[in-house]
Amino acid sequence: MLAVNLRSFRQKVRHHKKELKGFLSKLLKDQPAGMDKLAASLEMDVWKEVDCLTCANCCKTMSPTFTKTDIKRISKHFGQSPEAFTKQWLRKDRIGDMLNKTEPCQFLNLTDNKCSIYEIRPVDCSGFPHLHKKRMVDYIHVHKQNIEYCPATYRLVEKMQVAMKGGKG
Ligand code: SF4
Ligand code: SF4
């Protein structure tokens, strides 16, 4: 596994995001046969390359959505009421989702990039970056957003593009 270099990742995003997003739009429209199988096999290669503990860009730059159950579970862990927890850490966005007030996430330990509430983290965090889905097509809109923040998502889409052109990722 390689350490993630976020600086060079951001540069790659700047240069290639339009092209990769266009590729994802095309996948959504055409949905080629074997797409899910290909994504599943390439995902394994992605995780051999990307070490999340050298990255944590999701926790640094995005907020998970906290469900009511997440809030109940996490606030209990801190001996707080859900209301007090919400008041301290969360805000409501324009569609009513509960998000972190600040970035990086208050539960990220910046010295080692580990989540300090890993065992009880929001469900949204445990599923992120949603690469291992049965039907990739349901998550293409998610990948389109995450490609700018998540090196693993970026790499998966890049590998798929190369594989579909008949090359090596
Ligand atoms: S709760 Fe943990 S995994 Fe989720 S964003 Fe915060 S630090 Fe990251
Ligand atoms: S899920 Fe993506 S953004 Fe988050 S730490 Fe792993 S590679 Fe980085």
Q: Where do the DSSP E strands lie in the chain?
A: 90-92, 98-100, 108-109, 114-115
Domain count, the chain: 2
Give the rounded distance of the alpha carbon of 142 from its chain centre. 8
Q: Are strands 98-100 and 90-92 parallel, antiparallel or unpaired?
A: antiparallel
Mean pLDDT over 106-133 rounds to: 96
Residue 91 lies in a domain: yes
The domain in which residue 41 lies consists of 6-53+129-164
One domain, residues 123 and 64: yes
> Is the shortest distance between the CB of 144 and ligand 1 below 6 Å?
no
The CB of 125 under 6 Å from ligand 2? The reply is no
Is residue 169 assigned to a domain? no
Helices 151-164 + 6-30 axis angle, to 10? 50
Please check whether residues 123 and 66 belong to one and the same domain: yes
Q: Is the peptide bond before 32 cis (omega within 30 degrees of 0)?
A: no
Closest Cα partner for 107 from 147, 149, 66, 153?
66
Separation of 93 CA from ligand 1 center, angstroms? 18
26 in a structural domain: yes
> Does residue 1 carry a pLDDT above 80?
no
From the CA of 103, which ligand is nearest? 1
Paired tokens of 85: 């927890």
Amino acid at 47: W
Whether the bond between 129 and the residue before it is cis, its omega within 30 degrees of 0, is yes
Give 145 Cα–ligand 2 centroid separation in angstroms. 13
Sole residue written with tokens 């394994």:
44
User: For 78-108, how does the pLDDT look when each residue is reduced to its tens digit (9 = 90+)?
Assistant: 999 999 999 999 999 999 999 999 999 999 9
pLDDT digits (tens, 9 = 90+) for 60-80: 999 999 999 999 999 999 999
Tell me the angle at which helices 68-77 and 82-89 cross, rounded to the nearest 10 degrees: 100
Residue 37 maps to a domain: yes
pLDDT digits (tens, 9 = 90+) for 23-55: 999 999 988 888 999 999 999 999 999 999 999
**Does ligand 1 come within 6 angstroms of the Cβ of 115?**
yes
CA of 108 to the centre of ligand 1 (A): 6
Report yes or no on 1 lying in a domain: no
Residue 84 and residue 116 in one domain: yes
Average pLDDT value for the chain:
94
Residue 116's pLDDT is 98
Residues 25 and 43 in one domain: yes
110 with 76, same domain: the answer is: yes
Query: Do residues 71 and 105 share a domain?
Result: yes
pTM reported for the whole predicted model: 0.93
Task: Supply the pLDDT for residue 167.
Answer: 57
Cβ of 99 less than 6 Å from ligand 1:
no
Compute, in angstroms, the gap from residue 52 CA to the centroid of ligand 1: 12
* Closest residue to atom 7 of ligand 1, CA basis: 108
